[in-house]
Structures are given as structure tokens and as C-alpha cells.
């Protein structure tokens, strides 16, 4: 049985940080765009990395 089942609440939105790859409960959007195939993507960072790297998309950032 999971914690969510016990509490009857949905799992929190915890996307992986684009910089340190750890899941964060307080994601900050640091980039977004569209793939050539039409899929939309959004990059999130944890608050620590967002303050370190700065929020907002950067042309020098690459998804590796």
C-alpha cells in the first residue's frame, strides 16, 4: 500500500530537476519549447538550481 492510497490524495507533482536530476516538490520553469515533431516540452529546476542558474530559457542550455 502506498502513502497516497492511505491519505487518498493525489501524488504531488515532482518533476526531475533539469540540472541536478532530483525530483522537486517546488519546480521552477526554466525553459520550454516545441520539438520538431510538434511535442511540447517544459524544463523544470529545483529552487536551488533555479537560483543558481537563473530562471528562464537560455539558448546555451541543451538537453543532454
Q: How far, in Å, CA of 26 to CA of 35, rounded?
A: 25
CB-wise, 9 or 64, nearer to Zn ion? Answer: 64
The reply on whether position 32 binds Zn ion by CB under 5 A is no
Give the binding range for Zn ion (CB under 5 A) out of 3-11, 34-42, 45-53, 55-63: 45-53
Cα-based angle 63, 31, 36 (whole degrees, multiple of 5): 60
Stretch that binds Zn ion, among 6-14, 28-36, 39-47, 55-63 (CB under 5 A): 39-47
**In whole angstroms, what is the distance from residue 29 CA to residue 27 CA?**
6
Which residues form the interface with Zn ion (CB under 5 A)? Answer: 17, 19-20, 46, 49
Amino acid at each position: 500500500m502506498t502513502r497516497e492510497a492511505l491519505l487518498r490524495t493525489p501524488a504531488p507533482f515532482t518533476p526531475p530537476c533539469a540540472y541536478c536530476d532530483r525530483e522537486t516538490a517546488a519546480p521552477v520553469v526554466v525553459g520550454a519549447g516545441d520539438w520538431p515533431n510538434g511535442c511540447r516540452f517544459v524544463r523544470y529546476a529545483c529552487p536551488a538550481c533555479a537560483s543558481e542558474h537563473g530562471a528562464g530559457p537560455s539558448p546555451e542550455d541543451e538537453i543532454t
